[in-house]
Amino acid sequence: MAETCIKESGLSLDRVVFYGRTLREYQLIFNFDHEAYKGRKVLDCPAGSSSFTAESVRLGVNATAVDPMFGKPVADLLEAGEADIDHVMESVMKSQDIFCWSFYPTPQALRSYRKTALSRFAHDYSKPESAERYVKASLPNLPFEDKSFDMALGGHFLFTYSDRLDYDFHLKALLELVRVSHEVRVYPVVGRDGRRPLFFEDLLSALAKAGVKSELLPSKFEFQKGGGEILRLTSQL
């Protein structure tokens, strides 16, 4: 997919959206094999309205979702999720050329995936027995012990919002994810304009100095043109 996609301009959003994807999308985005993580601890941070945790727990993965919006009543999250689907879709409709319409053949298909994720998330979030899986917290400070997780998945927040989150925030947030997890995968590795942030090379150098190994891996998924890579981080810290 990546070779056929040529960047145009950027997706305009006026806020960090409470938005989320399904397990199927996470599997492709992060090259995540849920079978290999059965019984293992996986962090989705930030999760937004992703149904990754709801769906992967049912398949035997010990998943935890983190987002600053958690802790609110489910009705509030559904309202925020619906409003943000509308906000993103409005912007997508104005910038359709910056996306590869292969996985989602139409904007309607994209909206339908988002609605499915929100509804699966809300169903699980509203169950009393799920409460401990949905943790209210914000990067760069996570309420977990060192290496609590086997894998942390960070989708559509770091890099995506590099127009408003700076180098310091990215460095602290990535070091925090590495502190709590043996492996970290972040996607995409570009901003909403499809480009690496200017601080990218400095960020990798600072991570290397802190003992963190970084690798860019191809993802099986590219919707935003130029966004088909994963940043994989590992460390002995």
Ligand X SMILES: C[S@@+](CC[C@H](N)C(=O)[O-])C[C@H]1O[C@@H](n2cnc3c(N)ncnc32)[C@H](O)[C@@H]1O
- Region of 15-23, 124-132, 188-196, 203-211 interacting with ligand X (CB under 6 A): 15-23
To the nearest whole angstrom, how small is the minimum distance from the Cβ of residue 26 to ligand X?
A: 7
Burial code (b: 16+ CB inside 10 Å, e: under 16) for 161-195 equals bbeebeeeebbebbbbbbbbbbbbbbbbbbbbbbe
Least distance in Å: CB of 76 to ligand X?
Answer: 12
Minimum gap (Å) between residue 47 Cβ and ligand X: 6
Helix axes 107-125, 74-94, angle to 10 degrees: 170
Q: Residues 152-191: x/- map of binding to ligand X (CB under 6 A)?
A: ---xxx----------------------------------
Report the residue number whose CB is nearest to ligand X: 155
Binding characters for ligand X, 19-38, by CB under 6 A (x = yes) = xxx-----------------
Q: Are 89 and 96 in contact (CB under 8 A)?
A: no
Looking at the Cβ atoms of 67 and 193, the one nearer to ligand X is 67
For the stretch 54-58, contacts whose Cβ atoms lie closer than 8 Å and that sit 24 or more positions apart, written own/partner, are 54/120, 54/121, 54/123, 54/124, 54/125, 54/130, 55/22, 55/23, 55/120, 56/23, 56/26, 57/124, 57/130, 57/133
What one-letter code names the amino acid at 55? E
User: Is residue 13 helix, strand or coil?
Assistant: coil
Question: Please, which of residues 136-155 interact with ligand X by CB under 6 A?
Answer: 138-139, 155
| Residue nearer to ligand X on the CB measure, 176 or 207 | 176
Task: Scan residues 36-75 and list those touching ligand X (CB under 6 A).
Answer: 46-48, 50, 67-69
Instruction: Check: CB of residue 179 under 8 Å from CB of residue 70.
Output: no
In whole angstroms, the minimum distance from the beta carbon of 54 to ligand X comes to 12
Q: Which residues bind ligand X (CB under 6 A)?
A: 16-21, 46-48, 50, 67-69, 138-139, 155-157
